Amino acid sequence: MKPAPFTRHVPRTVDEVVSALAEFAPLDGRILAGGQSLVPIMAFRMARPAHLIDINEVEGLDRLAVDGDYLSIGARVRHGAFHKPVIDGPLGKLLAFVVSHIAHYPIRMRGTFCGSLAHADPASEWCLVAATLDASLVVKSVRGERIVPVTDFLEGIMSTSLAEDEFLAEARLPLLPDDTKFGFYEFSRRAGDFAMSAALVTYRLVDGVIADAHVGIGGAEDRARRILEAEDVLNGNAPSPDLFVAAGEAAANAIEPLEDIQTTAEYRCDLVRAVTRRALERSLL
């Protein structure tokens, strides 16, 4: 339970981060943010980075603020920052609701929003939020900066489009219109465990019918993503129990379920059907 030997680098600025990354990434270097996923994996020696570039001392990366029409979340912003709504309106409430499902309190005080995205665990609640809300990710390297839509960022199980020398400096979540409704539901074996399926939905009611529906599913496929088939079922229709059942059915039919020794594809689809409908039911509470 002791990690393999490594060298820790402690940059103070973003420039130092990217130059350290340029130098050490080719030598098996990785970013260390909250360490709540990376450090346990290192303790099991399943990951053996030779260099860790620790960004916990970098100035400015703890910035959490509204810039125009999006919420900017810096690479050092911890899960715990969202325990209370960070902004007025539905987005702050949504994040505060979702965050309570992430692991346990001590982990939330250390782990980071961007770290979750960069780690890209399929069951990550923040990956689900980013996917459902069409987040943009600000990626930096010595080569400059690029802004990547979440659909191009999340590539698979613990896999992203980050190049070796790039780090995720900031996540941008679009602000939600004030009349946005949202619902979240996740299924896990115990409180705080990885979700075996989770659903996040947002939509607006325009003249009593659903508009701009986003249905995100996490924990069920190799990455969190919006399920357009379920959104199509919802848009243009008034909320009803039957509609929500139909949306759950559409989501279950649309996914390519992950399987493991305990969880068959059929069971994963059962869960997706249930969590989707329940997230929708909760959106009306």
Site for other proteins, rule CB under 8 A: 1-2, 4-5, 40, 44-45, 187, 189-194, 245, 249, 261-264, 266-267, 270-271, 273-274
Tell me whether residue 72 or residue 263 sits nearer to other proteins (CB atom). 263
Residue placing its CB nearer to other proteins in the complex, 134 or 270: 270
CB of 127 to other proteins, least distance (A): 17
For residue 91, the surrounding DSSP H or E stretch is helix 90-99
Question: At its nearest, how many Å lie between other proteins and the CB of residue 229?
Answer: 17
Q: CA angle, corner 88, sides to 133 and 182, nearest 5?
A: 40
Task: Report, in Å, the least distance between residue 171 CB and other proteins.
Answer: 25
Q: Which residue has the tokens 């990951």?
A: 47
> CB 126 → other proteins: shortest distance, Å?
18
Q: For residue 185, report the phi and psi dihedrals to the nearest 5 degrees.
A: -150, 135
Nearest distance in Å: CB 191, other proteins: 4
Q: Which is nearer to other proteins, 23 or 270 (CB)?
A: 270
> Which one, 205 or 274, has the nearer CB to other proteins?
274
For residue 265, the minimal CB distance to other proteins (Å) is 12
Inter-CA distances, 182 with 44, 71, 215, Å: 38, 17, 10
CB of 216 to other proteins, least distance (A): 19
Q: What token pair was written down for 72?
A: 């900017």
Contacts of residue 167, defined as CB under 8 A and 6 or more positions apart, other chains included, come to 17, 18, 21, 31, 53, 55, 75, 118, 139, 140, 141
The Cα 126–Cα 128 span in angstroms is 5
Q: What are residue 70's DSSP bridge partners? A: 67, 174
17, 29 Cβ separation under 8 angstroms: no
Q: Which is nearer to other proteins, 172 or 278 (CB)?
A: 278
Q: Which of 13, 26, 10, 19 is nearest to 141 (CA)?
A: 19
**Given the complex with other proteins, which of 76 and 119 has the nearer CB atom?**
119
Nearest residue (CB) to other proteins, 126 versus 187: 187
Question: Judged by CB, which is closer to other proteins: 7, or 264?
Answer: 264
In whole angstroms, the minimum distance from the beta carbon of 274 to other proteins comes to: 4
Residue 90: in which H helix or E strand, if any? Answer: helix 90-99
**Angle at the Cα of 157 from the Cα atoms of 154 and 161, rounded to 5 degrees:** 35
Contacts of 276 (CB under 8 A, 6+ apart): 199, 201, 215, 217, 227, 230, 244, 247, 248, 251, 252
Which phi and psi angles does 61 have, rounded to 5°? -75, -5
